[in-house]
């Protein structure tokens, strides 16, 4: 590293790095030599010793610095604390659609920036929210869930901030032309009318045009909105594009949108289990959805994504709170023991380090009332 270009470094405690979890920063030794890259998962204490993570450890201070570094300071609140506020911000954005339309792009981008910070700060908690929090208005919550899942994929694909924000903004704004009808359509149990079908088929173009009229000039954002309902095999709408005619960002939004819709309840059906949806995605890859992105998405979420309720082979029941070193061996926050008795406080178990395995997934509808913050360990002193 050249003199004069050496970044300011801060010490990293060994306790901040956990076996089976992604390393949150690139780690250096005292001589500014890279020991391990950000995102690496170390599977054992021996791995830590082998690559030298037993001495003095450092990371760049910019990794927790201002927005110019691309790494905003860690947030002081969890997304579990903020989800109601995020939903309110989405609600207020939709309310000004027709009163003050020129305000909408700025509001959308500020919400996208906030979601990007939460995804960077704690991606597992963000994924958990997308799976567990469905108590609000679908029109306001669904875009947030889609934006979170799209950002998870965008970050895994190493999109820069500008590109990631365009993807999140597209996820948040793609339905603005049908926002006032979306709740009605979500609740509807009867077949679509011809008028409704026409409205659905034309909404990507109309939302795209509305954003342009509001002053949006970002082509990545606009194209992702316009093309988010196109299919890999050309059967989508509004233009019947296929394959490479569809932008990758639009494919990311489409993948997140369809996944979120399938795991969400509707009036006429219950949401599907996440591992069941991922299996269907795998089986249908390359037809409607892009094969490479689909496989990437499945790999990133894991077999049991955070927010999945599970029963373990020893009888304990809990929810997945972190992805682990192996796709089928995540971290599980257990709240019931093998006799079905509620624990005094959640017990976090790393399945990679235990002999137990996941015996079954449990539909969220069968869980009953449960504090998400408590089970995530956020209410433990």
Question: At residue 35, what are phi and psi to the nearest 5 degrees?
Answer: -95, -40
Which 3 state secondary structure label does DSSP give 349? strand
User: Which pLDDT value is given to residue 55?
Assistant: 66
Closest CA to 12 of 28, 1, 31, 35: 28
Select the more confidently predicted residue: 63 or 362: 362
- pLDDT value at 348 more than 90: yes
**How much is the mean pLDDT over the chain?**
85
Select the more confidently predicted residue: 162 or 135: 162
User: Which pLDDT value is given to residue 276?
Assistant: 85
Please write the tens of the pLDDT for every residue from 17-69: 777 677 777 887 776 777 877 777 777 777 777 766 666 777 776 554 333 33
Closest CA to 168 of 147, 149, 154, 152: 147
Please write the tens of the pLDDT for every residue from 260-297: 999 987 665 677 888 888 888 888 777 888 999 999 99
Cα distance between residue 138 and residue 107, in whole Å = 19
Instruction: Classify residue 240 as left (phi > 0), alpha (psi -120 to 50) or beta.
Output: left
From the CA atom positions of the chain, what is the Rg in Å? 22
- pLDDT value at 358 more than 60: yes
Closest CA to 138 of 260, 268, 305: 260
User: Which pLDDT value is given to residue 12?
Assistant: 75
Q: Are 58 and 28 in contact (CB under 8 A)?
A: yes
Which 3 state secondary structure label does DSSP give 333? strand
User: Which pLDDT value is given to residue 61?
Assistant: 61
Q: Give the DSSP H/E element, type plus range, for residue 276.
A: helix 274-284
Q: Could you tell me the end-to-end alpha-carbon distance of the chain, in angstroms, rounded to an integer?
A: 42
Q: Which residues contact 317 (CB under 8 A, 6 or more apart)?
A: 309, 310, 311, 334, 335, 336, 340, 362
Q: Is 80 exposed, middle or buried (0-12, 13-18, 19+ CB in 10 A)?
A: buried
DSSP H helical segments within 287-365, as ranges?
291-301
In the 8-state DSSP scheme, what is residue 76?
Answer: S
Q: Which residues contact 285 (CB under 8 A, 6 or more apart)?
A: 291, 294, 295
Closest CA to 183 of 126, 237, 136, 144: 136
Please write the tens of the pLDDT for every residue from 95-124: 899 889 999 999 999 999 999 999 999 999
Closest CA to 66 of 178, 161, 167: 161
Please write the tens of the pLDDT for every residue from 69-89: 344 455 567 898 889 889 999
- pLDDT value at 347 more than 80: yes
User: Which pLDDT value is given to residue 238?
Assistant: 94
Is the model's pTM score more than 0.95? no
Q: Give exposure, 271-295, as e/b (b: 16+ Cβ within 10 Å).
A: bbbbbebbeebeeebeebbbeebbe
Q: Are 180 and 210 in contact (CB under 8 A)?
A: no
Going along the chain from its start, the domains and CATH numbers come out as 9-65 (no CATH), 79-301 (1.10.3210.10), 309-375 (no CATH)
Question: At residue 269, what are phi and psi to the nearest 5 degrees?
Answer: -160, 160
Cα distance between residue 258 and residue 365, in whole Å = 20
Query: 194-198, 266-270, 347-351, 356-360: which range is least confident on average?
Result: 266-270
Q: How, if at all, do strands 309-312 and 329-336 pair?
A: unpaired
């Amino acid at each position: 590293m050249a003199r004069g270009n050496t970044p300011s470094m801060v010490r990293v405690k060994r306790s901040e790095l956990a076996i089976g979890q992604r390393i949150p920063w690139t780690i250096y030794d005292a001589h500014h030599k890279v020991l391990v890259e950000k995102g690496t998962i170390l599977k054992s204490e021996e791995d830590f010793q082998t690559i030298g993570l037993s001495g003095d450890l450092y990371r760049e201070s910019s990794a927790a610095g201002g927005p110019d570094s691309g790494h905003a300071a860690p947030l002081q609140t969890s997304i579990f604390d903020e989800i109601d506020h995020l939903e309110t911000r989405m609600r207020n954005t939709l309310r000004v659609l027709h009163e003050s339309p020129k305000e909408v792009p700025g509001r959308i981008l500020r919400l996208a920036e906030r979601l990007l910070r939460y995804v960077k700060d704690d991606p597992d908690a963000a994924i958990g929210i997308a799976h567990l929090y469905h108590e609000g208005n679908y029109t306001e919550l669904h875009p947030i869930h889609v934006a979170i899942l799209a950002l998870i994929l965008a970050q895994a694909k190493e999109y820069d901030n500008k590109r990631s924000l365009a993807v999140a903004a597209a996820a948040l704004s793609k339905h603005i032309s049908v926002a006032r009808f979306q709740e009605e359509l979500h609740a509807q149990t009867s077949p679509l009318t011809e008028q409704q079908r026409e409205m659905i088929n034309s909404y990507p173009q109309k939302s795209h045009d509305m954003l342009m009229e509001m002053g949006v000039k970002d082509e990545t954002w606009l194209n992702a909105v316009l093309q988010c309902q196109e299919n890999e095999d050309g059967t989508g709408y509004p233009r019947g594009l296929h394959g490479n005619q569809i932008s990758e960002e639009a494919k990311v939004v489409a993948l997140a949108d369809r996944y979120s819709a399938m795991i969400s309840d509707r009036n006429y059906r219950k949401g599907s289990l996440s591992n069941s949806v991922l299996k269907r995605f795998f089986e249908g890859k390359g037809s409607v959805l892009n094969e490479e992105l689909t496989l990437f998405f499945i790999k990133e979420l894991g077999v049991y994504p955070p927010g999945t309720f599970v029963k373990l082979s020893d009888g304990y029941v809990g929810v997945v709170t972190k992805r682990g070193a192996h796709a089928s061996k995540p971290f599980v926050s257990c709240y019931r023991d093998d006799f079905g008795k509620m624990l005094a406080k959640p017990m976090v178990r790393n399945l990679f380090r235990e002999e137990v395995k996941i015996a079954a997934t449990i539909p969220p509808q069968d869980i009953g009332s449960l504090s998400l913050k408590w089970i995530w360990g956020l209410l433990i002193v």
